[in-house]
C-alpha cells in the first residue's frame, strides 16, 4: 500500500494564481483532512471530509475549497493564492471520525506564494 | 484554537538518556494522541490514550494521562539518535457539535550521539 500520497512536493506560486494540491489514499478510509503547518503554530485544520460527497470546514478554511467525489481522492484548491498561504500542507486519512483514532499523514506539499 | 501545549519547546539529550515531554490542555477530552515528525516529513502516529486510561506503553514509549490536571507526558526510554524529531500531542474533543482533533505546537527533541 502506498498509504497517503500528495503531489506536488514543492510549489511556487505568484499572488493571485490558482492551483490544486492533490491527495490520494489507498486504505479505503472514509475520513480525510487537510492541515497546514506554519512555524511555531502546530497543525491547523483547513477542511475535512467524512465520506464521498461530504465536506466541512475546519479552523482556517478561508481561501481554500475542497471536494470529495471518490473515497480515494481529496484535492485542495487555492482559488487566488496569497502570501499568507505560504505553508506546508498535509493531507491525512483515517478509518475513524476525526480524533477517534490514528490518522495517517502524507509527506506534505511545501507551498511558497510570492 | 490551540488546545494542547507541549513543554519544553526544545529538548537536547545524549543517546541512552530518557526524554520526557509534557502536554497540557484546557478542556475535557475523549482521547489524546502523540505523533512524531521527522524533519521534512509527515506526521507518524505513536500512541493513543483514552480519557479513561492512565498509562499506556508501546516499546520504548510510555504515555501517562492525568485528566484531573489536564496533562499528559510522553517518555522515551534509552533514546537513540534516530529519535531526533518533533513530537506533537493532539487532543480529541467535542467542539461546536462535532469531534475535532487539535494539535499542539510540538517539542523538538535532539538526541546527540
Q: What is the DSSP string of chain B?
A: ----EEE-SEEEEETTS-EEEEEE-SS--SEEEEEEE-TTS-EEEEEEEETT--EEEETTEEEEEETTTTEEEEEE-S--GGG-EEEEEEEEEEETTEEEEEE---EEEEEE-
Whether the link from the prior residue into A8 is cis, omega within 30° of 0, is yes
The SS3 of residue A85 is helix
What are the pLDDT digits (tens) for B58-100?
Answer: 999 999 999 999 999 999 999 999 999 999 999 998 777 677 8
Cβ–Cβ below 8 Å for A99 and B106: no
Of A93, A66, A97, nearest to A2 (Cα)? A93
Q: Is the pLDDT of residue B2 over 90?
A: no
Residues in chain B closer than 8 A to A4 (CB atoms): 42
Residue to substitute from B101, B102, B105, B106, interface A, most A β-carbons within 10 A: B101
Give residues 17 to 36 of A whose Cβ lies within 8 Å of B: 35
Q: Does B19 touch chain A (CB under 8 A)?
A: no
Determine contact, residues A82/A113, Cβ cutoff 8 Å.
Answer: yes
Cβ–Cβ below 8 Å for A100 and B92: yes
Nearest CA in chain A to B1: A59
- Indicate the average pLDDT of chain B: 92
Interface size, chain A vs chain B, as Cβ–Cβ contacts under 8 Å: 61
Low-confidence ranges of chain A (pLDDT < 70): 98
pLDDT for res B98: 72
Residue with cell 482533533: B101
Residues in chain A closer than 8 A to B103 (CB atoms): 35, 42-44
pLDDT for res A8: 97
pLDDT band at B3 (very low <50, low <70, confident <90, very high): low
pLDDT for res A98: 65
Of A103, A45, A101, A51, nearest to B95 (Cα)? A45
pLDDT band at B4 (very low <50, low <70, confident <90, very high): confident
Q: Is the dihedral of CA A59, B70, B33, B12 positive or negative?
A: positive
- All three cell numbers of A20, joined, read 490544486
CA distance B55 to chain A (A): 17
Percent of chain B at pLDDT > 90 equals 82
Determine contact, residues A108/B41, Cβ cutoff 8 Å.
Answer: yes
pLDDT for res A41: 77
Q: Is the pLDDT of residue B35 over 80?
A: yes
How many CB atoms are closer than 10 A to CB A91? 28
Amino acid at each position: 500500500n502506498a498509504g497517503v500520497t500528495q503531489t506536488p512536493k514543492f510549489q511556487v506560486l505568484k499572488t493571485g494564481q490558482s492551483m490544486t494540491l492533490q491527495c490520494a489514499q489507498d486504505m479505503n478510509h472514509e475520513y480525510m483532512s487537510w492541515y497546514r503547518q506554519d512555524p511555531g503554530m502546530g497543525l491547523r485544520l483547513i477542511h475535512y471530509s467524512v465520506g464521498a460527497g461530504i465536506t466541512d470546514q475546519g479552523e482556517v478554511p478561508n481561501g481554500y475549497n475542497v471536494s470529495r467525489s471518490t473515497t480515494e481522492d481529496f484535492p485542495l484548491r487555492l482559488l487566488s493564492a496569497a502570501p499568507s498561504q505560504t505553508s506546508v500542507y498535509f493531507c491525512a486519512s483515517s478509518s475513524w471520525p476525526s480524533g477517534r483514532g490514528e490518522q495517517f499523514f502524507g509527506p506534505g506539499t511545501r507551498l511558497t506564494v510570492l | 484554537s490551540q488546545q494542547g501545549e507541549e513543554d519544553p519547546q526544545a529538548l537536547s539529550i545524549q543517546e541512552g538518556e530518557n526524554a520526557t515531554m509534557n502536554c497540557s490542555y484546557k478542556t475535557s477530552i475523549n482521547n489524546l494522541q502523540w505523533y512524531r515528525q521527522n524533519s521534512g516529513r509527515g506526521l507518524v502516529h505513536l500512541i493513543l490514550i483514552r480519557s479513561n486510561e492512565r498509562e499506556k506503553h508501546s516499546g520504548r514509549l510510555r504515555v501517562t494521562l492525568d485528566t484531573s490536571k489536564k496533562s499528559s507526558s510522553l517518555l522515551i526510554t534509552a533514546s537513540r539518535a534516530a529519535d531526533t524529531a518533533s513530537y506533537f500531542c493532539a487532543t480529541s474533543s467535542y467542539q461546536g457539535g462535532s469531534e475535532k482533533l487539535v494539535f499542539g505546537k510540538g517539542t523538538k527533541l535532539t538526541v546527540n550521539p
